[in-house]
């Protein structure tokens, strides 16, 4: 969990572990962010979702929910949960350095 | 460390549109937070997983003061269908899935989906009357075993 980890230089995280300043994110720190979420090995599919989250955020100002991800990222809902068992949109948003997606569906 | 919820078991006991959606939204939302979820369908809530009926769930227009209708108006022929259609269209614009699509999605999230044995027997149904996403028909005792260690939400 994030609370047991030391700070990443140049990165400010909020209480829940989301980036306070999304512009502080770089792809170099993705493996470390993923490890903190219990993902030790990043596959191409993980990267696909992380990059998609990031680009959606940069384009629309908010990250997609799981339903939106399942419909638009090219990764099925089932696979999203296999990749990010602790909540695909939430965990991928943390790793992609973007705010937590807000949406009830 | 902030307190978290690790597991919820949600009971859906009503067969109206407004009786089914809240439980489905809470189930799906819990999975999105990484929370383990079991859904248990009982009594008229079974309609949500009854293959013949789950595409035809109606909004209750009688005995529903939230609609702010005259009581007699809600009972006129066609009013329930009309209001259901209106509600479904509105939900569609907000990208809220239909009940069949929602059930499929919730299944894909890895939630457990169960039917109540007493209700299945009461309505004279069998496993193959239910949608394929239903994992099992279970007793109330088995429900409590599955729910152990988590929160229970009754809707």
Mean pLDDT, range B107-123, rounded to an integer: 97
Q: Which of A3, A86, A105 sits opposite B96 (nearest CB)?
A: A105
The pLDDT-based confidence of B2 (bands split at 50, 70, 90) is: confident
CATH of the domain at B9: 3.40.1260.10
Per-residue confidence (pLDDT) for residue B1, from 0 to 100 = 66
Say whether residue A60 is in contact with chain B using an 8 A CB cutoff.
no
Whether B120 and B139 map to the same domain: the answer is: yes
**Chain B interface residues (partner A, CB cutoff 8 A):** 1-2, 25, 28-29, 31-34, 94-97, 105, 108-110
CATH number of A14-95: 1.10.10.370
Encode pLDDT of B15-24 as tens digits: 999 999 999 9
* Claim to verify: residue B5 and residue B19 sit in the same structural domain: yes
Do B127 and B151 belong to one domain?
yes
Q: Which of B29, B109, B110, B133 is the best mutation test for A, with the most CBs of A within 10 A? A: B109
| Mean local confidence (pLDDT), A71-94 | 95
Strand order in the sheet with B36-41: B136-138, B112-116, B36-41, B7-12, B151-154
Quickly state the pLDDT bin for A7 (edges 50, 70, 90). confident
DSSP states of chain A: -GGGSPPPTT--B-TTS-BSSGGG--GGGHHHHHHHTT--S--HHHHHHHHHHHHHHHHHSS---HHHHHHHSSS-HHHHHHH-TT-HHHHHHHHTT-PPP----
Contact (Cβ atoms closer than 8 angstroms) between residue A17 and residue A94: yes
Best mutation site among B22, B23, B34, B90 for testing chain A: the one with the most A CBs within 10 Å?
A: B34
User: Quick one: angle between helices B17-32 and B99-108, nearest 10?
Assistant: 20
Q: Is pLDDT above 70 for B137?
A: yes
Least confident of A2-11, A12-21, B45-54, B76-85: A2-11
Locate the domains of chain A by residue range: 14-95
pLDDT of residue A2: 47
User: With an 8 Å Cβ cutoff, is A63 touching chain B?
Assistant: no
Q: What is the CA radius of gyration of chain B?
A: 16
Q: Do residue B41 and residue B66 come from a single domain?
A: no
- Give the model's pLDDT for residue B10: 98
State residue A5's pLDDT score. 67
Model pTM above 0.90: yes
Phi, psi angle pair for A13, to nearest 5°: -110, 150
Let me know if A12 is exposed, middle or buried by CB neighbors in 10 A (0-12, 13-18, 19+).
exposed
Closest CB to A104: pick one of B29, B34, B108: B29
Residue A1 has pLDDT above 60, yes or no: no
pLDDT tens digits, one per residue of A14-68: 988 999 999 999 999 999 999 999 999 999 999 999 999 999 999 999 999 999 9
The reply to whether B48 and B65 lie within a common domain is no
How far away is chain A from the Cα of B75, in angstroms, using its nearest Cα?
31
Co-location of B140 and B64 in the same domain: no
Q: Are residues B69 and B135 in the same domain?
A: no
Note whether B44 and B79 are same-domain residues: no
How many domains in chain B? Answer: 2
What pLDDT does residue A8 have? 86
pLDDT at A104: 87
Q: Do B32 and A91 touch (CB under 8 A)?
A: no
CA distance B145 to A2: 32
Residue B8 DSSP SS3: strand
B30 is in which domain, residue-wise? 1-55+98-155
Does residue B106 share a domain with residue B49?
Answer: yes
Active centre residues of A (catalytic):
104
d(CA B14, CA B79): 20
- Which site among A2, A64, A70, A87 would you substitute to test the B interface, given the most B Cβ atoms closer than 10 Å to its Cβ? A87
What pLDDT is stored for residue A10 in this prediction? 86
Select from B26, B23, B28, B25 the least CA-distant residue to B11. Answer: B23
pLDDT digits (tens, 9 = 90+) for B22-48: 999 999 999 999 999 999 999 999 999
Determine, for residues A81 and B29 on separate chains, whether the beta-carbon distance falls below 8 Å: no
Return the closest-CA partner of residue B42 out of B134, B115, B148: B115
Mean pLDDT of chain B, nearest integer: 95
């Amino acid at each position: 969990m994030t609370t047991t980890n030391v700070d990443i230089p140049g990165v400010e995280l909020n209480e829940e572990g989301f980036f306070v300043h999304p512009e502080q994110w770089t792809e170099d720190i993705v493996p470390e962010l993923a490890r903190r979420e219990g993902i030790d090995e990043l596959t191409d599919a993980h990267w696909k979702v992380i990059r998609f989250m990031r680009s959606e955020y940069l384009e629309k100002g908010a990250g997609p929910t799981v339903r939106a991800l399942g419909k638009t990222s090219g990764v099925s809902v089932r696979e999203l949960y296999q990749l990010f068992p602790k909540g695909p949109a939430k965990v991928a948003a943390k790793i992609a350095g973007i705010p937590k997606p807000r949406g009830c569906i | 460390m902030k307190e978290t919820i690790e597991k919820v078991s949600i009971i859906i006991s009503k067969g109206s549109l407004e009786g089914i959606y809240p439980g489905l939204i809470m189930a799906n939302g819990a999975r999105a937070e990484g929370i383990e979820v079991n859904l248990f369908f009982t009594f008229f809530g079974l309609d949500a997983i009854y293959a013949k009926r789950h595409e035809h769930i109606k909004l209750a227009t009688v005995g529903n003061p939230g609609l702010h209708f005259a009581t007699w108006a809600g009972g006129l022929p066609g009013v329930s269908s009309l209001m259901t259609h209106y509600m479904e269209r509105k939900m569609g614009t907000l990208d809220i899935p239909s009940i069949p699509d929602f059930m499929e999605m919730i299944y894909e999230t890895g939630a457990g989906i169960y039917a109540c044995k007493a209700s299945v027997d009461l309505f004279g149904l069998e496993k193959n009357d239910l949608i394929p996403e239903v994992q099992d028909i279970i007793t109330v005792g088995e429900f409590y075993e599955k729910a152990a260690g988590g929160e229970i939400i009754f809707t």
